[in-house]
A and B are shown apart, each in its own frame.
Chain A
Amino acid sequence: MNIDIEKLLKGMLEAASVGLKNHWPKARDYAENEFRKLLLEAQHIAQLKDDAKITEQEATYLMDLQRNASRAVLLTIEGLGILAVEAAINAALAVVRDTINSAIGGWKIL
């Protein structure tokens, strides 16, 4: 089986970057590294099956584990995106707080 890792990786990264928009740079390194590992692992499993080093049942088992691990990676990327949005909202709130503090004569009551 021939899997074009780079082409698939590019597609996965593009899809993930659309979801994370401006916060993508923070997740990019992790996503690229993990997506590449997942694709290489899938390719490796397929190769082992083709070479008759593992049975079809074993390949199915490994792909089931791989699916769970992939889901875990995607959930982490989703979490990194949520954390980035949260940081942006809190930064905006901090600006409001600073502005109000300044407006009332620099008192740090907020």
Chain B
Amino acid sequence: MKREGWTPSAAICLCMLIIGLAVSGCTIRLIADFDQKIDDGVTALQKKTGAFLIKLERTCQKPEGAYSNHVSFYDEAKVELSALQVRADAIALNKLTTEQLEKLRDSFEKMESQHKLGFTPIVVAETRNILNSHFTAILKLEVAKKRNLKD
């Protein structure tokens, strides 16, 4: 009759695994560690974007608020987002942050397209609110990766 449950060899393997992990003194990592450069980069981009949108809310319906006067902002934001994306991609177990940054890049592309069509103050204000939620989500996860700290 076939015996059900743990075979001796499976139980030994499990014990060896647990003891091995304990002996090695290592801790399991299921998600990437905190990355100061991601944290700093996202914070800097949030600050720069916030300042840009606050000013744009006032000027978007004046000549100075035209897209052609702000191409450099979008170019710089693209470079910064690309750098963040490359760094996030290079870190193991970091797919959540990578996807968050992909979505942020998509939002910036949409914002640029909308700027080309023309902004109104109310749309700029809403854009700022939504992007702030997005930035907060990225930073909340990054800070949580510090582990064992109250956040």
**Hey, which bits of chain A sit against chain B, CB under 8 A?**
30, 34, 37-38, 41, 44-45, 48, 53-54, 57-58, 61-62, 64-66, 68-69, 71-73, 75-76, 78-80, 82-83, 85-87, 89-90, 93, 96-97, 100, 110
Complexed CA–CA distance, A38 and B130 (Å)? 8
List A contacts of B49 (CB < 8 A): none
Interface on chain A toward B: helix, strand, loop, or mixed SS? helix
Q: Within 8 Å of chain A (Cβ to Cβ): is B61? A: no
4 nearest CB pairs, A to B:
A72-B137, A68-B103, A69-B134, A97-B22
CB distance from B117 to the nearest CB of A (A): 7
Are B122 and A65 within 8 A (Cβ)?
no
B19, B25, B103, B104: which has the most chain A beta carbons within 10 Å?
B103
Contact check, B138 vs A72: say whether CB atoms are below 8 A apart: yes
Q: Which residues of B contact A73 (CB under 8 A)?
A: 133, 137
- A62 to B137, Cβ gap below 8 A? no
Total residues of chain B contacting the partner, CB 8 A: 42
Contact residue among B25, B97, B99 (Cβ-Cβ distance under 8 Å from A71) = B99
Contacts A69-B133, A73-B133, A73-B137 given; does A62 touch B107 at CB 8 Å: no
Q: How far is the CB of B77 from chain A (nearest CB, A)?
A: 14
Nearest chain A residue, comparing its CB with the CB of B148: A87
Instruction: Contacts A58-B123, A61-B110, A76-B100 given; indicate if A96 touches B133 (C-beta within 8 A).
Output: no
A75-B96 in contact (CB<8A): yes
Are B141 and A75 neighbours in the complex by a CB distance under 8 Å? yes
Given contacts A68-B106, A72-B138, A97-B22, contact A62 B147 (CB under 8 A): no
CB contacts (< 8 Å) of A64 on chain B: these are 107, 110
**A interface footprint on B85-120 (CB within 8 Å = 1, 0 otherwise):** 000000000001101100110110011011001001
Q: Which of B4-12, B27-35, B65-73 contacts A (4 or more CB under 8 A)?
A: B27-35
Which A residues lie within 8 Å of B58 (CB)? none
Instruction: Say whether B23 faces chain A, with CB atoms less than 8 Å apart.
Output: yes
Tell me if B27 and A68 are in contact (CB < 8 A): no
CA distance A82 to B25 in the complex (A): 21
Least Cβ–Cβ distance between B137 and chain A, in angstroms: 4
